[in-house]
């Protein structure tokens, strides 16, 4: 088991290295091919109508003229060990993990990410709790009452949930629940630590909106998995032993049909931690997703690189956790 | 079960008519029909099957795939979903009628009085639970004992079916067992509550040949020990010859021949049984003569051929002047304990068997 975890950890680190290299290449290498010179890059950082001296100074400070490999080396060095930037008048130390400074706001990217993380975490964890509870229960009930009115209604709603984009359901719910009927306060994030109630109150609508989409997917997946499991030979065996139907379902069928969901949940969860872009934008939540979007729109390369890497870390870690959990849940994985 | 309860079951919804004819045997199946309504039509998987079985005896049910063997066994255990299967007829197990009994009453009998061994022990055991856990579970549903006692019983059962070091293997998962060992564990699970009726649905099909013989030996030994009645479902006549006392040959959901194992192999009276016997490979013949398969394939259970269901594949149907195509032959007791459903005159059948069939076997 330990060997398995160590092996997976080493693999995860290697994967992250590859992802960082590819992302770096995409954002710093490809623009060069498309004709972006180091001068344009520096100009982006410098702001409006810079003098040639400023541009040269910026190029030097960020090493825009160095070969890509050297630039990537610097990036990795700063990421792992931290780095020092010479502004000409001052030396700024950027502590590890250093992802550089925003071209737009000149802020430390790591700090920006850390600022946004609690918002995205709050949004995603809350939504995940809702969609797991609702989606899985509906899926199980639908499978058990296959063909019933409940099943058909639930699957219709689920189809709608999967099809409707978040900016539609989100805006609709904002329009009615908040502005039309005044049932909930406007979405205005406040820290969980300062006031858990206003934290939850502000996030209910984003939670439900995001959870609606995922609950719909999970309901359909759970239903399909449950139906498949219920026709397995070992379910027939369980019944042949004379087990009550309740035991057959909860102990034999549920465990087997929910295990594959774990994989999908790990992926979704990790990916959303990197930013639930649509939900955040719809509800004006300043999370990682909206940061990434702003970075892309403003060609703010360090910010984009930082958000992409953060997302990659979350996805890789979530997958690692899922793999380890799988070993716990499914004995066949444990021994092979 | 108390007498009052038994009387209640007897008077159950199986019909006043049924209660008037108390069963004489340990297991008695009367006119069992299991139909499945589908979009394409009514699938008559089992269409009027009757047989009896005493404790300590073995009945072999043989037939091709799709002849209704497995559907019958699941029907006896009450494992068909009542929403999509129509079951009628009577199943009397030790004085209790099962078709009309409530699902929960049948459930309580499952595993305790009647148990089943399935074909593929790998898919029939839950991959996430240890073998021991699954046996303990089967034992504790019907016996109010502590986990510790049940575990001891599980180890004991594993030992009895010939699994070495049962106290260690009890904590292994099914995938850690070999095929033969898994089938032994499956048998241990089925026998954990000492059932009086054991249904084995092709218990050796998924196993390799050397293991098959071991498993059959094991089943025979355990039968002697427990004195249970066994229904052996198979398409392998070798298995039947090995274990059975009686043979029931099924074709298209109906019984075509029902007799003792001796008669089935030495004096069979149905052309389909002849075909099955001819389909057994013989190593002592020239290669071209080793196998005489039955031509054609089993009929669809939605559109069973008019008349005798076997007539499109029967080499002797033409001798009946059209009766085979128009009239369904009834199962008739031709000799004491030997019934067959065929239009051919009995003398003619004996003649064909002696002159044409036996020499080629």
The pLDDT value recorded for residue B121 is: 87
**ipTM value:** 0.85
- The reported pLDDT for the residue numbered A202 is 82
Minimum-distance CB partner of A232 among B112, B123, B175: B123
Tell whether the model's pLDDT for residue B7 goes beyond 50.
Answer: no
User: Tens digit of pLDDT for each residue in A210-258?
Assistant: 999 999 999 999 999 999 999 999 999 999 999 999 999 999 999 999 9
Place of tokens 């009276």: B269
Instruction: Tell me which residues of chain B, numbers 300 to 319, contact chain A at a CB-CB cutoff of 8 Å.
Output: none
Can you give the pLDDT at residue B81?
A: 87
Does the beta-carbon distance from A243 to B141 stay under 8 Å?
yes
For residue B282, pLDDT over 80 is answered with no
Do residue B108 and residue A242 have CB atoms under 8 angstroms apart?
A: yes
The angle subtended at Cα B322 by Cα B321 and Cα B323, nearest 5°, is 100
Among B79, B126, B142, beta carbon nearest to A240: B79
Q: In Å, how far is A336's CA from the nearest CA of chain B?
A: 10
Return the structure tokens found at B99.
């078709």
Q: How many inter-chain contacts (A to B, CB under 8 Å) are there?
A: 73
What is the pLDDT at residue B6? 44
Closest by Cα among A143, A226, A332 to B125:
A332
Q: Which of B269, B250, B233 is nearest to B348 (CA)?
A: B269
Q: Which residue of B has its CA nearest to A333?
A: B128
* Closest CA–CA distance from residue B42 to any residue of chain A (Å): 20
Q: Which residues of B touch A332 (CB under 8 A)?
A: 127, 173, 175
Report yes or no: A330 at the B interface, CB cutoff 8 Å.
yes
For B335-357, the pLDDT digits (tens) are 899 999 999 999 999 999 999 88
As to burial, measured by CB atoms within 10 angstroms (0-12 exposed, 13-18 middle, 19+ buried), residue B179 is: middle
CB B259 within 8 Å of CB B246: yes
Structure confidence at residue B231 (pLDDT): 96
Residue B106 has pLDDT above 60, yes or no: yes
pTM of this structure: 0.81
DSSP 8-state class, residue A49: S
CB B54 within 8 A of CB B25: yes
Name the DSSP letter for residue A178.
I
For A256, which of B118, B128, B176 is closest by C-beta distance?
Answer: B128
Rounded CA gap, B313 and A206, in Å?
A: 68
Q: Which of B126, B175, B189 lies at the smallest CB-CB distance from A252?
A: B126
Region A169-192 average pLDDT: 82
pLDDT higher than threshold 50 for residue B11: no
pLDDT at B13 over 50: no
Separation between Cα atoms, residue B27 and residue B54, nearest integer Å: 6
**A191, containing H or E segment:** none
Over 60: is that where the pLDDT of A45 sits?
yes
A241 CB-side CA count, 13 A: 31
Q: How confident is the model at residue B244 (pLDDT cuts 50, 70, 90)?
A: very high
pLDDT exceeding 70 applies to what percent of chain A? 97
* Cβ–Cβ under 8 Å, residues B315 and B271: yes
Cα angle vertex A70, ends A64, A76, to 5°? 100
For position B15, what pLDDT does the model report? Answer: 45
3-state secondary structure of A107: coil
Beta bridge partners of A171: none
What is d(CA A222, CA A207) in angstroms, rounded to the nearest whole number? Answer: 21
Reference B27, options B196, B235, B280; nearest CA is: B196
CA A73/CA A24 separation, integer angstroms: 11
pLDDT class of A88 with cuts at 50, 70, 90: low
pLDDT at B1: 43
Please answer yes or no on whether A237 and B173 come within 8 Å at the CB atom: no
Q: Say if the Cβ atoms of A331 and B77 lie within 8 Å.
A: no
Place of tokens 């239009």: B343
Using a CB-CB cut-off of 8 Å, the residues of chain B touching A244 are 107, 141
More confident residue, B48 or A33: B48
Higher pLDDT, A188 or B106: B106
Three-state secondary-structure class, residue B251: strand
Q: For testing the chain A interface, which of B75, B113, B127 should be mutated: the one with the most A CBs within 10 Å?
A: B127
A239 neighbors B110 (Cβ within 8 angstroms):
yes
Q: Within an 8 Å CB–CB cutoff, is residue A143 touching chain B? A: no
Cis peptide before B179 (omega within 30 of 0): no
**A189-248 residues touching B, CB cutoff 8 A:** 232-234, 236-245, 247
Give me the residues paired with residue B43 across strands.
B36
Residues 6 or more apart from A27 whose CB is under 8 A from it?
A301, A304, A305
Model pLDDT, residue A86: 66
Straight-line distance from the first to the last Cα atom of chain A, in angstroms, rounded to the nearest whole number: 11
A192 or A111, which is more confident?
A111
Residue A317 burial (C-beta neighbours within 10 Å; 0-12, 13-18, 19+): middle
Residue among B240, B325, B318 nearest B280 (CA): B240
Q: How confident is the model at residue A64 (pLDDT cuts 50, 70, 90)?
A: confident
pLDDT of residue A87: 63
SS3 label, residue B181? helix
Residue with tokens 């209604």: A153
Q: Considering only CA atoms, which of A279, A305, A284, A312 is closest in space to residue A292?
A: A305
- Kindly determine whether residue A239 and residue B110, on different chains, have CB atoms separated by under 8 Å: yes
Residue B80's alpha-carbon distances to B52, B74, B112, B142, B301, in angstroms, are 21, 6, 18, 21, 17
Max Cα-Cα span within chain B: 69
Residues of B in contact with A252 (CB under 8 A): 126
Out of A20-29, A30-39, B179-188, give the one with best mean pLDDT: B179-188
Which chain A residues have a beta carbon less than 8 Å from that of B125? 234, 237
Q: What percent of chain B has pLDDT over 90?
A: 60
C-alpha–C-alpha distance, residues B119 and A237, integer Å: 11
């Amino acid at each position: 088991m330990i060997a398995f975890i160590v092996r997976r950890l080493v693999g995860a680190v290697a994967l992250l290295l590859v992802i960082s290299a590819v992302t770096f290449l995409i954002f710093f290498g490809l623009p060069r091919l498309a004709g972006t010179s180091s001068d344009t890059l520096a100009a982006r950082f410098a702001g409006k109508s810079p003098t040639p001296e400023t541009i040269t100074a910026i190029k030097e400070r960020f090493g825009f003229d160095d070969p890509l490999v050297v630039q990537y080396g610097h990036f990795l060095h700063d990421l792992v060990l931290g780095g020092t930037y010479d502004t000409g008048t001052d030396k700024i130390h950027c502590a590890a993990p250093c992802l550089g400074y925003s071209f737009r706001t000149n802020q430390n990217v790591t700090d920006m990410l850390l600022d946004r993380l609690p918002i995205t975490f709050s949004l995603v964890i809350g939504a995940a709790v809702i969609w797991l509870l609702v989606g899985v229960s509906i899926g199980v009930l639908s499978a058990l009452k296959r063909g019933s009115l409940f099943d058909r209604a639930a699957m219709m709603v689920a189809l709608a949930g999967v099809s409707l984009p978040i900016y539609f359901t989100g805006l609709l719910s904002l329009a009615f629940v908040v502005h039309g009927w005044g049932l909930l306060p406007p979405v205005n994030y406040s820290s969980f630590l300062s006031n858990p109630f206003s934290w939850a109150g502000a996030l209910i609508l984003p939670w439900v909106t995001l959870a609606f989409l995922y609950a719909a997917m999970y309901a359909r997946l759970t239903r399909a998995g449950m139906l498949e499991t219920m026709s397995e030979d070992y379910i027939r065996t369980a019944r042949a032993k004379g087990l009550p139907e309740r035991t057959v379902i909860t102990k034999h069928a549920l465990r087997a049909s929910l295990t594959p969901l774990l994989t999908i949940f790990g992926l979704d969860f990790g990916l959303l931690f990197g930013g639930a872009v649509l939900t955040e934008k719809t509800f004006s939540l300043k999370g990682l997703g909206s940061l990434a979007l702003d970075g892309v729109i403003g060609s703010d390369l360090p910010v984009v690189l930082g958000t992409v890497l953060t997302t990659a870390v979350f996805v890789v870690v979530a997958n690692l956790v899922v793999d380890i959990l799988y070993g716990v849940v499914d004995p066949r994985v444990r021994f092979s | 079960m108390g007498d009052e309860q038994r009387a209640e079951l007897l008077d159950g919804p199986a019909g006043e008519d049924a209660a008037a004819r108390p069963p004489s045997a340990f297991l008695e199946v009367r006119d069992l029909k299991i139909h499945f309504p589908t979009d394409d039509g009514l699938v008559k998987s089992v269409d009027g099957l009757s047989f009896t079985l005493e404790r300590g005896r073995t009945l072999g049910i043989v037939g091709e795939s799709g002849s209704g063997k497995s559907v019958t066994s699941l029907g006896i255990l009450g494992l068909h979903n009542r929403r999509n299967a129509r079951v009628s007829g009577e199943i009397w197990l030790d004085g209790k009628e099962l078709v009309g009994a409530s699902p929960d009453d049948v459930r309580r009998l499952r595993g305790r009085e009647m148990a089943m061994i399935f074909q593929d022990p790998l898919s029939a055991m839950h991959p996430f639970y240890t073998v021991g856990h699954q046996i303990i579970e089967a034992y504790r549903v019907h016996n109010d004992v502590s986990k510790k006692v049940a575990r001891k019983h599980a180890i004991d059962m594993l030992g009895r079916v010939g699994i070495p070091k049962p106290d260690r293997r009890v904590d292994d998962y099914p995938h850690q067992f070999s095929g033969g060992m898994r089938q032994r564990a499956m048998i241990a699970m089925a026998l954990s509550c000492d059932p009086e009726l054991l249904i084995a649905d092709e218990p050796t099909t998924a196993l390799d040949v050397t293991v098959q013989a071991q498993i059959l030996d094991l089943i025979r030994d355990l039968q002697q020990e427990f004195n249970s009645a066994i229904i052996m479902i198979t398409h392998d006549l070798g298995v039947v010859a090995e274990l059975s006392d009686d043979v029931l040959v099924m074709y298209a959901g109906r019984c075509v021949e029902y007799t003792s194992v001796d008669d089935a192999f030495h004096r069979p009276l149905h052309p389909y049984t002849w075909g099955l016997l001819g389909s057994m490979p013989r190593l002592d013949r020239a290669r071209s003569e080793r196998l005489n398969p039955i031509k054609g394939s089993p009929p669809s259970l939605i559109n069973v051929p008019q008349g005798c269901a076997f007539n499109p594949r029967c080499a002797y149907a033409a001798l009946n002047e059209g009766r085979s195509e128009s009239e369904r032959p009834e199962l008739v007791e031709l000799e004491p304990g030997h019934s067959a459903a065929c239009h051919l005159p009995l003398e003619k059948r004996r003649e064909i068997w002696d002159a044409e069939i036996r020499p080629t076997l």
